[in-house]
């Protein structure tokens, strides 16, 4: 099995302790995270050969991000060094009916200012079997979008499977531009991953009988969305995470995988949330792991949902979960009893 390549931005995450609001905080905990980096860490924790590609400054903050990835066995040898800034995001954790809040400070980060000449994609994909990116990366700048397109083209030329998590972020770009740019990238994608809102926000494909604000989810509506996405872009598979939001602390969590006209549904978990950031990334990593290890569609889906269910119980962006832990939960051991 070859190397798994992920490409995107790793950021410094600054968050008040517990559920303190920004206006209350007099100190912030500092960790690192970011969509594609989170996927690489999960896959490395699962024992896979995962590499993260980005551009980071040569100074100590950039090096700290590299060091953090190395702790988990992620290959950082393909990271380009240069630029002046590491992107930052501030996270205020929600509670009960108060939602979490994210404020970005990532303009002019090293990866946002990266150019096409910074990356040797032919060399990067030598020996690779999978490439993963998200809709966050091309949203960073026109330059980042061009680099992402180069990566996708090179991946397909190298015979590498490509997955994309749509991950629409309204604070980074408007829906119209997202639809145009992401629409141009979808021709290279084999596996498309989305949540309840992404297909609607990016491509105007809406699930009937669904209201994410009230937590109402329609299975038939999401089968329709997956079918429409597959028909429009020719995806081999479409995965949609199904989050029923009861409050900021409590969600029901499940997912669907659509392939060849057949829809597979996972079991549903009632999740009491410790930290939901990175939940979708842990799902993507679990699905990639399952498909690469030929688990089959249903088993791959169950593994991915179990891994992401467990991520919701872990502080920080990264999913510190093993294959064995995810498989036990997927197999039905959801008691949460002390392991002695």
* Catalytic residue ranges: 281
> Three-state SS string across the chain, please?
CCEEEEECCCEEEEECCCCCCCCCCCCCEEEEECHHHHHHHHHHHCCCCEEEECEECCCHHHHHHHHHHHHCCCECCCCEECCCCCCEEEEECCECCECCEEEEECCCCCCCCCCHHHCCHHHHCCCEEEEEEECHHHHCCHHHHHHHHHHHHHHHHCCCEEEEECCCCCCCCCHHHHHHHHHHHHHHCCEEEECCCHHHHHHCCCCCCCECCCCECCHHHHHHHHHHHHHHHCCCEEEEEEEEECCCCEEEEEEEEEECCEEEECCCEEEECCCCCCHHHHHHHHHHHHHHCCCCHHHHHHHHHHHHHHHCCCCCCCCCCCHHHHHHHHCCCCCCCCCC
CA distances from 153 to 147, 148, 181, 256 (A): 10, 9, 14, 28
Dihedral sign, Cα of residue 79, residue 80, residue 81, residue 84: negative
Task: For residue 46, give the nearest of 293, 277, 302, 340 by alpha carbon.
Answer: 293
**Residue at token pair 């999740």:** 271
């Amino acid at each position: 099995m070859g190397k798994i390549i992920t490409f995107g931005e790793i950021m410094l995450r600054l968050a008040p302790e517990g559920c303190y609001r920004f206006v209350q905080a007099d100190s912030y905990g500092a960790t690192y995270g970011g969509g594609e980096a989170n996927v690489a860490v999960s896959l490395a924790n699962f024992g896979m050969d995962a590499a993260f590609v980005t551009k980071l400054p040569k100074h100590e903050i950039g090096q700290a991000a590299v060091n953090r990835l190395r702790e988990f066995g992620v290959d950082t040898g393909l990271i380009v060094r240069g630029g002046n800034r590491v992107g930052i995001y501030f996270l205020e954790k929600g509670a009960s009916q108060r939602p979490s809040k994210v404020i970005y400070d990532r303009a002019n980060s090293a990866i946002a200012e990266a150019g096409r000449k910074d990356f040797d994609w032919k060399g990067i994909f030598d020996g690779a079997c999978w490439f993963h990116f998200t809709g966050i990366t091309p949203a960073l700048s026109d330059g980042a979008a061009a680099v992402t397109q180069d990566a996708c083209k090179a991946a397909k030329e190298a015979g590498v499977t490509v997955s994309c998590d749509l991950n629409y972020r309204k604070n980074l770009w408007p829906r119209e531009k997202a639809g145009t740019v992401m629409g141009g990238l979808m021709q290279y994608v084999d596996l498309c991953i989305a949540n309840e809102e992404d297909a609607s926000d990016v491509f105007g494909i809406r699930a009937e009988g669904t209201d994410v604000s009230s937590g109402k989810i329609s299975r038939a509506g999401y089968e329709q969305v997956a079918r429409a996405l597959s028909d429009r872009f020719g995806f081999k598979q479409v995965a949609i995470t199904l989050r029923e939001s009861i409050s900021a602390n409590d969600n029901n969590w499940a997912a669907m995988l659509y392939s060849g006209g057949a829809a597979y549904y996972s079991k549903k978990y009632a999740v009491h949330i410790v930290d939901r950031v990175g939940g979708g990334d842990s799902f993507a990593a679990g699905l990639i792991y399952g498909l690469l290890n030929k688990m089959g569609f249903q088993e791959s889906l169950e593994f991915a949902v179990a891994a992401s269910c467990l991520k919701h119980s872990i502080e920080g962006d990264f999913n510190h979960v093993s294959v064995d832990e995810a498989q036990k939960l997927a197999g039905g051991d959801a008691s949460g009893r002390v392991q002695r």
